[in-house]
A and B are shown apart, each in its own frame.
Chain A
Amino acid sequence: MKKLQLAAVLVVAVAAAIVAATSAFGGGQAAVPEKLVIAYQPGMGYAPLIIMKSQRTLEKRYPGLQVEYRVLPSGTAITSGMISGQIHVGAMGTGPFLVGFARGIDWKMIAPLNEADLWLMAKDPNIRTIGDLKGKRIATPTNTSIQAVMLRKMAQVRLGDSKALDSGLIAMDHPDAMQALLTGQIDAHLTSPPFQFQEKVRGAHVVARSYSYFGAHSFLGTVVTQKFYGEYTAFSNQFYRDIANAIKLIQTNPKKVSQILQDDAGGKPTARQFKQWIGNPAITYTTRPRGLMRTATFMSKTGQLPGRQPSSWRDLVFPPVYPTKGS
């Protein structure tokens, strides 16, 4: 009898150990991070994230989760934060995202945010065409921003050389550049919504639109590293769905969204302005990426993408984005 009891105890002990071990492995897949830092830049393009922040979507679904939303001035600042592991989800333009990918950062887009027509604005009435811009001072956020890429495409198409306007490129963030354009310190500004709308209202005119040279293309997206996705796959997939829901809210209830954006911006611009801008066809919120490969190929050809090249748009996004049939 004693031997049987011993055997039974042993079997139970081994079974318990196996269950404990396998649940430790399996638990990793379903786990949620303890602290999440989401970084984005100022602008209405990040509206889906601002909606999630104001509605506390993540805090409500994951009660133990500490979520921190941080606003940083540029895509390169967010890149640095993600390389050092301090930022888990970064929202940036496709330009810095592709450069990081090429330079070996193992990251992909978990949820694109929008596509936008980026306008080249000028105030001087004598500047009407791309050719007029030779030797003039043109502001873009940074040399690797999607705006700088679009400018080089325009230069290539109209002037035959993508680097023709490079000598006049000045890196300035959108608010400073808008100020500089309107006071005449710079000659042109390749910018994005809502700054291009504001500049148009205040006397600048549109010299060129990126869609005319590039077709419709993605503007901003949220990015996580492969390491993060592997560790928190279910969380990341759910994050995609949260962004998609926020975008649906923008499409179905723009009035509520513009109120959220006004509150987040501290009252200025007003909800009415935001509603006008959201409705402008130059910006469309969607989780379908468009023109990623086209952008990467162009950047590669003009030497702006040193390093690892993507072979298909699927290399650049995580699985939840595949069904959108992007490009």
Chain B
Amino acid sequence: MASVTEAPAVLPARPREAGWSRLPVWLRRVILVAALVGLWQAYVAWSEFGGNPLLFASPDDTARAFWEGWRDGSLASATWQTLRILLIGVGIGALIGALFTLFASLSQIGEDILLLLTAILNPLPGVAVLPLALLWFGLSTKAIVFAIANATIWPIAINLTTGFKTVNPTIVAAGRNIGLKGIRLVTDVLAPAALPSAISGLKTAWAFGWRTVVAAELVFGVVGGEGGLGSYINNAKLYLFTPQMFAALLSIAVLGIAFELVFGVLERRTIIRWGMQKS
């Protein structure tokens, strides 16, 4: 009889599906995207709801609106406006989150305060904070930056704290051994070791911030001058430019893929190269 500590038997290898999994990755993706677009076109052509141009845009109308929007700069400036606010918000949020974590790792009371604040403020969706922010900061981008900061501080603080806590104790002991303590221990040992958690915290914060900024513009209209992507979508809705709405959503999707790639490059250059995370 096998003992309970014996490793479980290795599962038999899954038989490879004939054909599909032998194709290269890029071809599989291209075929799936093409099939999706085909379904979309079929829906527009054959369904009553899909065929109403005011309700649903066809793939070629969307492609045309996408091309025109980027060519004449309207989508480009809207995207840049949204990204600008997002970068400022996430930047502030990351800074404050890191400072909080530093304070928490250096003292017990810091950790208690951080846990309490996180428990209360992390569950608040970014958009829920916005009406209050508009009251406090008036109708300006400051209000949106505040909402984004709130949405990003806590994920970053949580991830960094977890990162600090799960650092290999051998490394920490080695650091203590050579005389590092206090803040130097944090900056030279804990912080680099917590880099995988920091990056994953940044990814989460970016995602939350992105959702918050587009939703804020949609719900509260143009706040503070130039409009971002949310206002672009809202404006398209006002004038019933349905292809432009679809094109803006497509832009957001493409941007999301671009960010994934950027984060991937960041990870490959740092934590994967240093062996801290498998690719």
A contacts, CB < 8 Å to B:
76, 79, 83-84, 99-100, 103-105, 137, 142-144, 167, 169-172, 180, 185-186, 306
Contacts and interface: CB of A to CB of B under 8 A. Distances in A.
Contacts of B52: 83
A76 B223 contact: no
Contacts of A170: 139, 221-223
Which 6 pairs of residues, A with B, have the shortest CB-CB distance? Answer: A171-B221, A103-B240, A144-B238, A83-B54, A185-B138, A143-B238
- What is the interface of chain B mostly: helix, strand, loop, or mixed? loop
B130 to A, nearest CB: 13
Contacts of A99: 238-240
Given A99-B238, A171-B221, 4 more contacts: A83-B54, A100-B240, A104-B54, A104-B240
A103 B243 CA distance: 12
Interface in B171-201: none
Nearest to B138: A185
B132 to A, nearest CB: 14
Nearest to B242: A103
Which bracket fits the contact residues of B?
10 to 19
A137 B238 contact: no
Interface string B226-253: 0000000001011111000000000000
Given A83-B52, A104-B54, A172-B221, A186 B237 contact: no
Contacts of B221: 170-172
B225 interface: yes
B55 interface: yes
Given A103-B54, A137-B139, A171 B222 contact: yes
Contacts of A180: 139
B54 A142 contact: no
Interface SS majority for chain A: loop
Contacts of A306: 239, 241
A167 B241 CA distance: 21
B264 interface: no
Given A171-B221, A171-B222, A186 B239 contact: no
Nearest to B240: A103
22 contacts: A76-B238, A79-B240, A83-B52, A99-B238, A99-B239, A99-B240, A103-B240, A104-B53, A104-B54, A105-B54, A137-B139, A144-B238, A144-B239, A167-B225, A169-B222, A170-B139, A170-B223, A171-B222, A172-B221, A180-B139, A185-B139, A306-B241
A105 to B, nearest CB: 7
A172 B138 CA distance: 13
Nearest to A142: B238
A84 B55 contact: yes
A249 B153 CA distance: 60
A105 B242 CA distance: 13
A147 B68 CA distance: 30
A186 B139 contact: yes
A170 B52 CA distance: 31
Tell which of B52, B235, B237, B238 has the most Cβ of chain A within 10 Å: B238
Contacts of A76: 237-238
Contacts of A103: 54, 239-241
A250 to B, nearest CB: 31
Nearest to A105: B54
Interface string B39-76: 00000000000001111000000000000000000000
A171 B239 CA distance: 14
A84 B242 CA distance: 14
Nearest to A84: B55
Contacts of A143: 235, 238
Contacts of A171: 221-222
